[in-house]
Structure 1
Amino acid sequence: MHEILNGHEKRCFNMFRMTQTTFRKLVIDLESKHGLHPSERTSTLEKVGIFMFILSIGASNQEAQERFQHSRETISRIFKEVLDAMDGLSKDLLRPRDPDFKEVPSHIANDSRYMPHFKDCIGAIDDTHIDVIIPEEDQLRYRGRKGTPTLNVMAVCDFDLLFTYVVTGWEGSAHDSRIFLDAITNPSLNFPKPPPGTSFFM
């Protein structure tokens, strides 16, 4: 970690898909706001490094074991710890900048092609399928339209192309409308409901 974070910027970007400055800020946020702590043998920097290494290049547990010289169990435990902290971070980041949706987005207000027809539209919502590895006995319900196991992920973005809400975890066979209806009717999912008269593109 010392070599990567104090060496050439390109090495850090190749390994973690972010600059050294961004990586250090991420670690500080996860420590100070989202409960990620160092353990007896592993610093918080290294924990986040392991997590980002696995995500950024699609590394296997075995590849992470070799790169960071930890056991299989340790790699799995660290990945879960950082994933839990990232879940907290996502709740801070994935939210509308204007939670009351009072402002007309500038992309609409400043373009005569869209105003006034879309002045009450506040963003776009869509689903996408992400390939996953699932135990064979559970694969059937995760099979998406292309026949491979997937998760069906619903995402909402604003007119600046910033994500404001994401729902994950649904099996690939789940219909988009089912996921949407669950998101807007389940209070625990905290869907940012727009006021009456506004809408999303779908």
Structure 2
Amino acid sequence: MNYVVKNPCRNSSMTGHCWVSEILNGHLIRCYQMFRMKKLVFLELCDILETKYNLKKTRNVSIYEQVGLFLYMLSQPGSVRNCEERFQHSGETISRHFHNVLEAVCMFAKDIIKPVDPSFRDTLDEILKDARYHPYFRDCIGAIDGTHIRVCVPSHLQGVYIGRKGYTTTNVMAVCDFSMCFTFVWAGWEGSAHDTKIFMEALRKPALHFP
């Protein structure tokens, strides 16, 4: 009888759980370098996603490791295979947990990326108490701009994603207030889309709650 002998592939003693624990318990700069956030912020994010947005640990992957691999993939210029080796999990496991965290983060984003006062009844103190801005900017609620983020897309879609940068990008429109907090973000537009087009589309769609 012919059969295949399966040898364990991810058998390093430095598991993903061990590595994340080492990062969190090591020098503070390591957490920032690997996950692009400070340790206390990382721990608070894990707690919020678990308690409020239904992110659940599994038998083999803790909440810390799930969030760690998610942030690692976003912040480091590596591939899924690099993440497999770093966290000692299969590609299927990496993909599943990445999308679980992504789903929780998207729900979290809907609750925090919004104006503090949607009615904008009062002039902000940053304007009211500064003679350089008041009364000239008394109705200003923030700043808006578009930014191009490099992306990989299927070959048959690359044409519309190549804009003035000369390579495939997605054009993201973002709004922030005077506290430098995002109040609106619209991602997913092709790199060839003009900022004005995205802005006008946001105005036409009440469901987006554009400020």
TM-score with structure 1 setting the length: 0.89
User: Over alpha carbons, which structure has the higher Rg?
Assistant: 2
- Cα distance between partner residues in 1 of 2:59 and 2:190: 37
Output the amino acid matched with 2:57.
P
Residue of 73, 87, 94 corresponding to 2:113: 94
- Cα distance between partner residues in 2 of 1:41 and 1:187: 43
Residue of 34, 40, 47 corresponding to 1:21: 40
Q: Spell out structure 1 runs of 4+ moving beyond 3 A.
A: none
Output the amino acid matched with 2:188.
G
Residue of 127, 145, 150 corresponding to 1:131: 150
Q: Is the 8 A contact 1:156 1:165 kept in 2?
A: yes
Give the match for residue 190 of structure 2. 171
Q: What is the aligned residue count?
A: 192
Indicate whether 1:110 and 2:143 are aligned. no
Note the alpha carbon deviations across 1:3-37, whole angstroms, 9 max, x for none. 12222222222211222221111001011111211
RMSD after superposition:
1.4
Give the match for residue 70 of structure 2. 51
Q: Percent identity?
A: 51
Secondary structure of the equivalent of 1:182? helix
Note the alpha carbon deviations across 1:32-57, whole angstroms, 9 max, x for none. 11121112321111110000111122
Residue of 97, 122, 133 corresponding to 1:78: 97
- Cα distance between partner residues in 1 of 2:141 and 2:40: 33
- Cα distance between partner residues in 2 of 1:46 and 1:83: 14
- Cα distance between partner residues in 2 of 1:169 and 1:186: 15
Residue of 162, 187, 198 corresponding to 2:181: 162
Q: Is the 8 A contact 1:129 1:144 kept in 2?
A: no
Indicate whether 1:67 and 2:67 are aligned. no
Residue ranges of structure 1 left out of the alignment (5+ in a row): 193-202
Q: Is the 8 A contact 1:13 1:19 kept in 2?
A: yes
- Cα distance between partner residues in 1 of 2:90 and 2:105: 22
TM-score with structure 2 setting the length: 0.86
Output the amino acid matched with 1:15.
M
Secondary structure of the equivalent of 1:153? strand
- Cα distance between partner residues in 2 of 1:88 and 1:56: 20
Give the match for residue 9 of structure 2. none
Output the amino acid matched with 2:146.
D
- Cα distance between partner residues in 2 of 1:157 and 1:113: 20
Give the match for residue 181 of structure 1. 200
- Cα distance between partner residues in 2 of 1:28 and 1:5: 15
Indicate whether 1:40 and 2:40 are aligned. no
Residue ranges of structure 2 left out of the alignment (5+ in a row): 1-19
Note the alpha carbon deviations across 1:95-135, whole angstroms, 9 max, x for none. 11122111212221122122112111111111111111112
